A and B are shown apart, each in its own frame.
Chain A
Amino acid sequence: MKGFMCMNEITLEQVRPSVITTNGLTKKFGNMVAVDNLHLEIRRGDVFGFLGPNGSGKTTTIRMLLGLLKPTAGSICIFGLDNATHLQEILPRIGGIIEAPVYYSYLSGRENLRAFALASGMTGGTKTKRRVEEMLELVDLTAQAKDAVSKYSLGMKQRLAIGIALLADPELVLLDEPTNGLDPVGVQEIRQMIMRLAEVGKTVMLSSHILSEVQQVCNRVAILQKGRMIRQGEVRDLLRQGERLLVRMNTREEALAALTWLRSGPAWVARVELQGVELQIDAPVARSSEIVALLACQQLYPAEIRPWQTSLEEIFMELVGPEEGRNGMAALAG
């Protein structure tokens, strides 16, 4: 077999094999480094969130995965095959939306699906036409199927793009901002669709600015900044790292006393912030009873103590920095 083959050792445990692996993936445009030494791993069945502010290299990475850009250095393995030499075997198994949805504006929704069905290797016969109707129903465009896409709203165009991506029933689905332009009902439908895809064994790679949606649907994420991966892992592990305890004291004086004591207190208390009479303590939730006991020793008795889970958005803002994080979040608010 030409090129090198990516071998995935599978242990006896149920470790899911890697569908996408990048090794030192780098892309330079002249002197500008768009992607820098990226080591990415997406496992079969993952709903993988690919996050980062604008210009962090997400779209460049997706384009390299799909063979639209040639990497400057590094390698890509998809389905165990080297992207550089087996692209034509890989691509029929992938469906995706890259950046904005694209379509032939002079064709209707139905005609677009039929055209791309042929491009995807489908026969174009009766069965394909039925499949096209299935996709129109799935993305709720049956009523507008005859209209030229130039007359579609942004949400309709987005749904059409999803239909095109899922037309050939791919194993791996790459979605770049799939909820862009959709109303809340549409966003919920896309979320449910992604979860259904995961349930039937598809692997989904999702790039999005709506971190609340990513948190709901993704099991693993990678966060990029300026072309580099700054964090990759399970969402629940990331959220656990951001676990906090909220302790409400009875008076401001007691809160100030507790703040002073905790800041000079045990090493496993990472940080303490005060807001009014509430203390936000960076400490494992499992140690809440210890916090209560320690405060009681100082004659300080909290009115309430409860765990507070941070969100992916807060973790993202902390990792990429407030300015870049705001720029990234503002992209959608636009």
Chain B
Amino acid sequence: MAINPISPEQTFPQADRSASVEMGRRDYLSTVWRLTRMELYKLYRRRYSQIVLATLLGLVASGVVVIGFFDMSQANAPASNFAPPRCVSLHNGQQYCSNQTFSQAQLERAKTAAMQENAQSLGLPGSLTAIVTVLSINLITTLGILLLGPLVGTEYGMGTIRLLFTRGPTRLQCMLAKVVAALIYTMVALLLVMAAYIVLGMIFYPMTGEPYSYTFSFFSQADFRIMLSNALLLGLIDIVYWFTYGVMALFFGSIGRSTAAAIGGTFAWYTLEILLIYLLEFLQGVIPTGALYTFFKGVPDYLLFNNLNSLVQNRLHFLNNGNPLSSISDLHACIVVAVYLVVLVGASCLITMRRDVTS
């Protein structure tokens, strides 16, 4: 005997869960945020992440100690060490020399100027400039790949991916949470490193022999405002730099389903881009005119490595007057980096959403 069909909600109303189970909000953003909290919870507790972060902090601390002892040795050195080299003993490439005989007062002034310059890297605002510059060095940014590489690869390796994808959230939400967690973790890690350097710099500052000024008058001086804003921007660029390669590691981890693929793939891309730049430069020399030359010249402007480095270089131009501006403008670089990020994140999400999970 057929009965009027009953809607699924009437046939299978959601059964009441145990009173000890408290479910959170189920809207899209709340779910992504909850998953992000889970990713950060795992990241902070993972020994591997702790070691990478500790290594970074250790490098920074060591750097501060080395600079401190160097400055101390300079402070204890005789003033005669600060005279420019005599031109008779010039080596090729040395830019400044003098055969003049300097008085003791002149030598003392030269020593004082050198010590003040040395001390800048340990005291604010110079220490901020120093740390954001160090964090933008290519070799250092590769630590971002190690930091974020296991985010996706490990899930496949351990098999937890099948548990993650069967908890309720969509696969897209799971991937977005990993991206957001990567960004937050990168920001916190780098801000921690910057803060550590600045604080350690202040602690070791007395080794420079220079008195510390606790009054920052630079806000009233245009030069210092430019320097501070560029230093802060360079710090932001460092975060973007690390995060971008971290996202690339997520992409390769999604394709290769392992941490090895994540880290290896990203390092391979990084290396291949550098080799490609050299190859294109060589080819420009081989074919110095025509459409091919224009092509060879134009391609590097769209490589991730060059665009990230141009953002760094343009900031260093204002922080260190010796540095030339990059041929790539900030606007061009920002657009190219943004496109890479969108493509990498989008491809990671698409691959993850469509594949059969057999591991």
Contact = CB atoms under 8 A, between A and B. Distances in A.
Interface stretch (B14-22, B69-77, B252-260, B338-346): B14-22
Contact of A104 (B3, B24, B42): B42
Contacts of A128: 22
Given A98-B166, A121-B24, A169-B17, A80 B8 contact: yes
Contact of B5 (A7, A104, A106): A7
A115 B38 contact: yes
B45 A111 contact: yes
Contact of B38 (A93, A118, A164, A167): A118
B165 interface: yes
B231 to A, nearest CB: 36
Contact of A131 (B8, B21, B31, B158): B21
B23 A118 contact: no
B218 interface: no
B46 interface: yes
Interface in A114-148: 114-116, 118-125, 127-128, 130-131, 134
A5 B9 CA distance: 11
B158 A102 contact: yes
B35 A67 contact: no
B3 A134 contact: no
Given A70-B356, A131-B21, A124 B165 contact: no
A104 B164 contact: no
A130 B165 CA distance: 25
B5 A171 contact: no
Given A10-B11, A106-B45, A168-B21, A66 B168 contact: no
B22 A69 contact: no
Contacts of A125: 22
Nearest to B37: A118
Nearest to B160: A102
Interface residues of B, number: 45
Main secondary structure of the interface of A (DSSP, over half): loop
B48 A7 contact: no
A123 B165 contact: no
A201 B15 CA distance: 10
Interface string A166-201: 011101000000000000000000000000000001
Contacts of B45: 106-107, 111
B9 to A, nearest CB: 8
Contacts of B42: 104, 107, 115
Contact of B22 (A66, A103, A123): A123
Contacts of A9: 2-3, 5
Given A102-B159, A107-B45, A123 B23 contact: yes
A70 B355 CA distance: 9
A120 B22 CA distance: 11
Contact of B169 (A68, A88, A127): A88
A118 B160 contact: no
B358 interface: yes
A119 B42 CA distance: 12
A134 B24 contact: no
Contacts of A80: 7-8, 11-12
A94 interface: yes
B38 to A, nearest CB: 4
Contacts of B11: 8, 10, 17, 80
A98 B162 contact: yes
B139 interface: no
A91 interface: yes
Contact of A130 (B3, B15, B20, B41): B20
Interface in A80-97: 80-81, 88, 91-94, 96
Given A12-B3, A63-B357, A80-B11, A119 B38 contact: yes
Given A17-B11, A79-B12, A118 B22 contact: no
Interface in B43-70: 45-48
27 contacts: A7-B6, A10-B11, A17-B11, A63-B358, A67-B165, A67-B166, A69-B356, A69-B357, A92-B167, A92-B168, A93-B14, A98-B162, A98-B163, A99-B159, A102-B159, A104-B160, A106-B45, A107-B42, A118-B37, A121-B23, A121-B26, A121-B34, A121-B167, A124-B34, A127-B22, A131-B18, A171-B15
Given A9-B5, A63-B357, 5 more contacts: A7-B8, A68-B356, A102-B159, A104-B160, A131-B21
The 10 residue pairs across chains A and B that have the minimum distance between CB atoms: A80-B8, A92-B168, A118-B38, A79-B12, A127-B22, A68-B357, A102-B159, A7-B5, A169-B17, A119-B167
